[in-house]
Structures are given as structure tokens and as C-alpha cells.
Amino acid sequence: MRNASPFRDWPQHRSNCHPPSRTRSYTSTTIATPPSAEPEYTSVEAILFSANEDRPTTVTVRCRQFQPGGCPLPVLQPYFDAPPESIILTQGLNGEPLRFPLHIFYSRSALTRASPINRPIYHITSGVASKQWYGNVVVLKFNGGQRQRYTDANNKDLGPLTAYFLSYQ
């Protein structure tokens, strides 16, 4: 049976071994790693005005980050048949600037495709909006005025949205 003790061959090891500082110099090499080929995703809460529901709801929307510092692109295929149009709402009630602008996504072709009237928008405007909305509408909330990231939207954002839907021509 072989003895695994490191001290057994110490006399021979001592005569052959030299400390690393005397034998050779070691340099640390840093290898740059390329950026991940996989896209990065984040998730935020958005407000969904689903044409098939009576009230707006919050949903989790995944956002794909294409470049550092740039605004992520929301993945909205579950809510629209084609790439949606969008509007950025920067003013709230009484024309005051919104600290966190709202990004409204909608289908411009929903009316021509005989999509149903958007019932949640009809409901929050009490049916008196001058123009009806059709199909789904998804609203994301920007993290700030720079509009580089999204943050969670919530029911507090319904006030400025209601004012917008009422004034939309």
C-alpha cells in the first residue's frame, strides 16, 4: 500500500524543488470574454386593456435588451397579431409633464380587421370618448424622462391614461 503522506519523500523533494519566485516569473493573463450571444431579457408589469375584458389588468411583459444603455424592446406578440404602433404620453392631467412617461402600444389596423371595441377603455372613459379604441392596448411605463428603461406600471397610471383616451381625436 502506498503512503500518501507528502512528507515521506521530503528529502528528495527538498533537493529538487525551488520556490516559484526563484524559478520563473508568472504573469497573470486576462482573457476578454465576448458579450453573450444570448439576448438579455428583463420583465416589467404593464397595463393591458384587453378588448375581451371589462377592466384593465396588469400583465408581465418581457423586454429584450439589444444594446447597453438603449431602451429595451417589449415582446408584445402575445397581445398583437402584427407589430403595433406606439405613442409616448408625456403629459398628464391638466397638461402637466409626467415624471414617468407612458408608452402606449396599439394596433392601427384593429378597426379595419373588425376587432371588437376595447371595453376597458370604453369603461374608464364612461363611453364619452370622442373616438373609440379597437383591439388590445398595452401600456408600459418609462423609468424616467430619459426613456431608456421601463419600470412597473400600476393603477395609479390610469388617471393620465383616462385623460388621454378622453382627449384623443
Mind listing the pLDDT tens digit of every residue in the chain (169 residues)?
Answer: 455 555 555 555 555 555 555 545 545 556 665 555 567 889 999 999 999 999 999 999 999 987 776 778 999 999 998 999 999 999 988 888 999 999 999 998 887 787 889 999 999 999 999 899 999 999 999 998 788 899 999 999 999 999 999 998 8
Strand pairing partners for 64? 41, 73
Q: For cell 377592466, what's the residue?
A: 55
Q: How far apart are the C-alpha atoms of 114 and 5, rounded to whole Å?
A: 83
Q: What is the pTM of this model?
A: 0.75
**Cα–Cα distance measured from residue 141 to residue 139, given in angstroms and rounded to the nearest whole number:** 7
Q: Which residues of 95-119 are buried (b: 16+ CB within 10 A; e: fewer)?
A: eeebebbbbbbbbeebeeeebeebb
- pLDDT number for residue 57: 97
